[in-house]
Amino acid sequence: MPMQGGRPSAMWPLWLLVSLLALSQALPFEQRGFWDFTLDDGPFLMNDEEASGADTSGVLDPDSVTPTYSAMCPFGCHCHLRVVQCSDLGLKSVPKEISPDTTLLDLQNNDISELRKDDFKGLQHLYALVLVNNKISKIHEKAFSPLRKLQKLYISKNHLVEIPPNLPSSLVELRIHDNRIRKVPKGVFSGLRNMNCIEMGGNPLENSGFEPGAFDGLKLNYLRISEAKLTGIPKDLPETLNELHLDHNKIQAIELEDLLRYSKLYRLGLGHNQIRMIENGSLSFLPTLRELHLDNNKLARVPSGLPDLKLLQVVYLHSNNITKVGVNDFCPVGFGVKRAYYNGISLFNNPVPYWEVQPATFRCVTDRLAIQFGNYKK
């Protein structure tokens, strides 16, 4: 112990306190390999530090130091480090006595019907909130106000008829599929500058349900509106999108202007619709497209424009009404034009006489095994 004039230095208690605080923050909890509440083909999201824009220099900020309340755990729940798991307990409401330093709160598979004003009071460090498969139909307009650091909100499979108001501005990912939402009003996503992923499939949304400007201000990378009631591609979706999934709808055609603003797309999902026609030139607005899903539609021919997509690698066209495949339907004429060869082309379950297809048709495919033919049944 440092001595000063034969007596302990007055600085020693202060030094000890700072050291203990530094140790408690040296290895902040970061959940890895936790339950996957998203879809299997969900997007790859940035890590926590990138998503929040936090400073990762390792310098301790005394204002960010929070005590640990390890003794606090709601009855019946499992609490470890900063994860509180209260799933499958038949809960009717959000439990009390949740530790203020909790970063992940799991309340899925319960009977919660309402989120009240003070349900999340004091949980200012919460990073992820899981409310999947409850009976939530009502959310107080200030229910999420304390959650200033919330980045992931999973509230799918509930009874919501509208998108919750006043979502935290820190939110990065919103999973709200399989509810009863019919309308997306203008301004509902206002101020959500960090949002990059929205999953809102499985809602009875029609094209008329999207108000003009509903997505204004969002810079999304990923959007899924599958299993809805869309008859066309919605207008004015964020032009920043890298992935757009509109599968399992009632879309009948792709018109020239439908894809005009989505030049950054690298994956487009339009499978399981009723598409009969893709207007010539429609795909030319997608120069970075790598994966195109048009399976389980009513196409009579291979869409035009595929040879011009220099980065396209995967095309799903199975289970359509395609009767003929031309020698230049997939590959450009001449060498050095296509920058990435195909590694997947599916044409099975189409009335194509595959023995008539010329081998040169697939001259820009990496491997013959990447081509799927046959198995057509009337």
Check if CATH label 3.80.10.10 holds for domain 282-377.
yes
pLDDT tens digits, 10-56: 443 333 333 433 433 433 333 333 444 333 333 333 333 333 333 33
pLDDT tens digits, 287-342: 999 999 999 999 999 999 999 999 999 999 999 999 999 999 999 987 767 888 99
Phi/psi-derived region of residue 143, left when phi > 0, alpha when psi is between -120 and 50, beta in every other case: alpha
Share of the chain above pLDDT 70, in %: 80
pLDDT at 330: 95
**Amino acid identity at 30:** E
Domain boundaries defined on the chain: 282-377
**Amino acid identity at 295:** D
Label each residue of 210-251 as H, E or C: ECCCCCCCCCCCEEECCCCCCCCCCCCCCCCCCEEECCCCCC
pLDDT at 46: 37
Phi/psi-derived region of residue 374, left when phi > 0, alpha when psi is between -120 and 50, beta in every other case: left
DSSP single-letter state for residue 365: B
pLDDT tens digits, 243-296: 999 999 999 999 999 999 999 999 999 999 999 999 999 999 999 999 999 999
Distance, CA of 140 to CA of 130 (rounded, Å): 17
Distance, CA of 325 to CA of 328 (rounded, Å): 8
pLDDT tens digits, 75-99: 999 999 999 999 999 999 999 999 9
pTM value is 0.81
**Amino acid identity at 73:** C
Q: Are 313 and 342 in contact (CB under 8 A)?
A: yes
pLDDT tens digits, 147-201: 999 999 999 999 999 999 899 999 999 999 999 999 999 989 999 999 999 999 9
pLDDT tens digits, 203-251: 999 999 999 999 998 999 999 999 999 999 998 999 999 999 999 999 9
pLDDT at 321: 97
Distance, CA of 170 to CA of 352 (rounded, Å): 51
